[in-house]
Structure 1
């Protein structure tokens, strides 16, 4: 049985869409379960996701299922004990050293590195960055800096994208400027 720790719902700011997720205890770790619905260049997407997280807040595995435009989606990303990743059981050596997943279609997966971020300080983490259509999965080096309270500076090295995230006490992003905003 899982015990819910927190739930959150977002509305997309850059397109029609919403996402909602639940964080729960799962054994010695955690589980993030969500449902993203949005419209993009491929059409409507209805993606359900489950992320299994260790007690250290690093990703163990993740599943994404549903539809994106006209395509069925069934993706399983897994990180082995040695840090090796697979995508639908196919080795992904380019993901060596990644600790997390980062789903481009939701702010929910920022939770894991944000939970590891100190109250004041900086941290760099590598994520297996999953995007659609595809799926495409590549490493994404991310830095997070918390200087005060619930505001975190975020930078993605490979895309040179930077912004200021607002986060809640559980570590969920509540404002992702121009992209997502917590709804209620």
Structure 2
């Protein structure tokens, strides 16, 4: 079991992630509190296979007194969103939630270890405030052993940031957005 805390740098927000890794896969459960918009709480239960690829992701959002839910599942026939097949997402490799740097870990763990290695793929981008989901394209470029450049190629076209990561691919600092917080 591993616990990671991240703090938002661009607004008030905190995330507590609990991670469990077994031979069968990975389970990440988290709570995010954010002042974005009118403020919200987002809980997620992310189930990954042994290669750190999404099997399912359940999100529970509470904001402005309204509770909403979203379930994303990878199946043999494609991605399901709340039980409905989404053929527009057939080409998608994995999932990205706007309010957490944990999703970057999934890509970084697949990125080569050598400076200059690149990985470009499509994701289901989930806006944490609205729980809307669309396909988006991203690129990761290894700058050094512990620095990866993130480049958004669709949803936030032109956005780029350096991510400093630990040996397991977890974001330590995400330029301008997140930093890991150590507990004493």
Per the normalisation by structure 2, the TM-score is 0.90
How many residue pairs were aligned? 178
* Structure 2: gaps (5+ residues): none
Cα deviation code 1:92-122 (max 9, x no counterpart)? 2221121211110111111111111111111
Alignment partner of 1:178: what SS? coil
Give the alignment of 1:139-154 within 5 angstroms.
Answer: 139-154=135-150
Which residue of 2 is the match for residue 126 of structure 1? 122
Please report how far the alpha carbon of residue 125 of structure 1 lies from its aligned counterpart in structure 2 after TM superposition.
2.1
Please say which of residues 16-25 and 62-71 is displaced more in the overlay: 62-71
Which residue of 2 is the match for residue 165 of structure 1? 163
Give the alignment of 1:83-94 within 5 angstroms.
Answer: 84-94=78-88
Cα RMSD (Å) of the superposition?
1.4
Query: Is 1:111 aligned with 2:105?
Result: yes
Please report how far the alpha carbon of residue 46 of structure 1 lies from its aligned counterpart in structure 2 after TM superposition.
1.1
Query: Is 1:56 aligned with 2:51?
Result: yes
Which residue of 1 is the match for residue 174 of structure 2? 176
* Structure 1: gaps (5+ residues): none
Alignment partner of 2:103: what SS? helix
Please report how far the alpha carbon of residue 27 of structure 1 lies from its aligned counterpart in structure 2 after TM superposition.
5.2
Per the normalisation by structure 1, the TM-score is 0.90
Give the alignment of 1:6-25 within 5 angstroms.
Answer: 6-25=2-21
Which residue of 2 is the match for residue 31 of structure 1? 27
Please report how far the alpha carbon of residue 71 of structure 1 lies from its aligned counterpart in structure 2 after TM superposition.
2.2
Please say which of residues 106-115 and 64-73 is displaced more in the overlay: 64-73
